[in-house]
Amino acid sequence: MKIVESSLKIVSFLLIIFFILLLLVAVFGNRTSVKESPLVGKKAPDIEIESFDGNKIQLSDFDDKIILLNFWASWCMPCKQEAPELDSSWNKYRNSDVVFIGINILDEESNAKRYLDQYKPEYLNGYDRQGNVALDYGVSGVPETYFISKGGIIVDKYIGPLSEQLIDKYIDKIKSNKS
């Protein structure tokens, strides 16, 4: 009887460990991927949100620019991973025909402001108060990034943390297509 009880305890313990590991992979695992979106190839939904410094951000104001539109949240570990990469890339493109716009979703505004204070991105950032922008873009999680050509056509969608090399790849792709 003790052997059966010991075996059950060991199996239960191993199952618990397995499910904890599965949860950790789901939350913190490498989620990087390109995912087709029904929006790719279509006009980007126009958005109007308030930036964290109180100004209006309207996507259509940037139709003459290539746009990197990044959805993020303060509690998102991959967002924290990509934050320095985004800012470094922004510094490379800031004096060109490229604009970066970060949109905070699924978050408390005070937590988002603390995140911005910590990472100090220099590109535009706003808060999706009602979650409408995330719905319009079909955002399924964070980070998610849309690459939009001049004229407002969505060229690509990327899920997961970006690196400088990936950002360069997508922006170069748009520039080479003369979009």
Percent of the chain predicted with pLDDT > 70? 83
For residue 26, the model assigns a pLDDT of 53
Nearest to 143 by CA among 58, 63, 81: 81
Spatial separation of the C-alpha atoms in residues 23 and 159, rounded to whole Å: 19
Q: Give pLDDT tens digits for 100-148.
A: 999 999 999 999 999 999 999 999 999 998 899 999 999 999 999 999 9
CATH T-level topology, domain 32-176: Glutaredoxin (3.40.30)
- CA-CA distance, 131 to 117, in Å (whole number)? 22
Domain boundaries, the chain: 1-30, 32-176
Task: Give the contacts of 96 (CB within 8 A, at least 6 positions apart).
Answer: none
* Contact (CB, 8 A) for 162 and 86: yes
Q: Where are the alpha helices (DSSP H) in the chain?
A: 2-28, 77-93, 109-119, 132-137, 164-176
